[in-house]
Amino acid sequence: MRYAVPVNNGRLATHFGHCEHFALIDADEVTETIWHKELVASPGHQPGLLPVWLGEEGVSAVIASGMGSKAQALFRENRIEVLIGALGDDPEQVVLDYIRGVLATGDNVCDH
């Protein structure tokens, strides 16, 4: 499964749409391991762009700290799972914690 995690300065970004990069992480959920990771520059923040772009990149799920409700709906329309409120810094550890069922979450830090 391929995950997208928004990243600023190598750490989980607090606002999905305004991140510098996306960590695209391929993980095996059975063995709970990461087998590939790449950091790609964000194409920018334009309404509706990221769900389509990440879908074309083969992303099945997005893990973020904050994301607006409209963006969440657009991801779901594109059959991409969305997890909001993720806590942590390291994108790889966030994905591993998620697939292991131990990811700490809090409130959605986005207010729109």
Q: What is the pLDDT of residues 8-19, one digit of tens each?
A: 999 999 878 889
What pLDDT does residue 44 have? 82
Instruction: Tally the residues of the chain.
Output: 112
Token pair listed for 111? 């207010």
Between CA 46 and CA 13 the distance in angstroms is: 17
List the structure tokens of 12.
């989980």
**How far, in Å, CA of 74 to CA of 95, rounded?**
22
**Does 3.30.420.130 match the CATH number of domain 2-99?**
yes
pLDDT at 17: 80
Dmax over CA atoms of the chain, in Å, equals 37
Q: Read off the pLDDT of residues 30-79 as tens digits, 9 standing for 90 and up.
A: 999 999 999 999 998 777 889 999 999 999 999 999 888 888 999 999 99
